[in-house]
Amino acid sequence: MKKLNCLFLLSWMCLAVAGESPQRVTVNFIQPEQFTDVALSGSSTDRTRQYVLDNLQDYLISLANNKLPQNTRLTIDILDIDMAGRYEPWQSQMLNNVRFVRDIYPPKIKLRYTWLDAQGKVRASAGDVLNDLAYLQHADPGYVSNDPLRYEKTLLRRWFEQHFVGAKAY
């Protein structure tokens, strides 16, 4: 019985590995310690920076898995992130960890990307600076209002859909 279970488990693992599709998107953060603003509090730490980067990476992977044309691959290098809002320590000592979201503090993401077709040929390769001065009016209602990255995710989703959704894989 043990032998049968081991054979079953081994064959299942082989099928799972064989069924994996190649990674459709690779997200790289280039010198994230130099990014303008990836803080979740007035005193940013490596841990909170990593939380922001991991969440944005997971979000981009999810976008690619759901919306990128089949058999294409995308590499995104994030060069800088400046999150929406600012910490205004002059307001009050008690508000040190409150991010003030105002229209004068829009989110900004600098990136470059390379998009490959099914044959591995470059479909598009460019650099972009994403920002939205009217981001408070464009906030995606699909995000929970307490998601600290809702403005950045909306910015990335709009950029992604503009560049990659609806394109054919050819």
30 CB-near residues (< 8 Å, 6+ apart): 77, 78, 79
Mean per-residue pLDDT over the chain, rounded: 81
Reported pTM: 0.78
> Residue 7: what pLDDT?
45
Distance from C-alpha of 24 to C-alpha of 21, rounded to nearest angstrom: 8
CATH number of 23-164: 3.40.50
Alpha helices in 68-149 (DSSP H): none
Q: What is the pLDDT of residues 71-129, one digit of tens each?
A: 999 999 999 999 888 766 666 666 666 676 778 889 999 999 999 999 999 999 999 99
> Residue 45: what pLDDT?
73
Domain boundaries, the chain: 23-164
> Residue 99: what pLDDT?
72
Distance from C-alpha of 85 to C-alpha of 105, rounded to nearest angstrom: 5
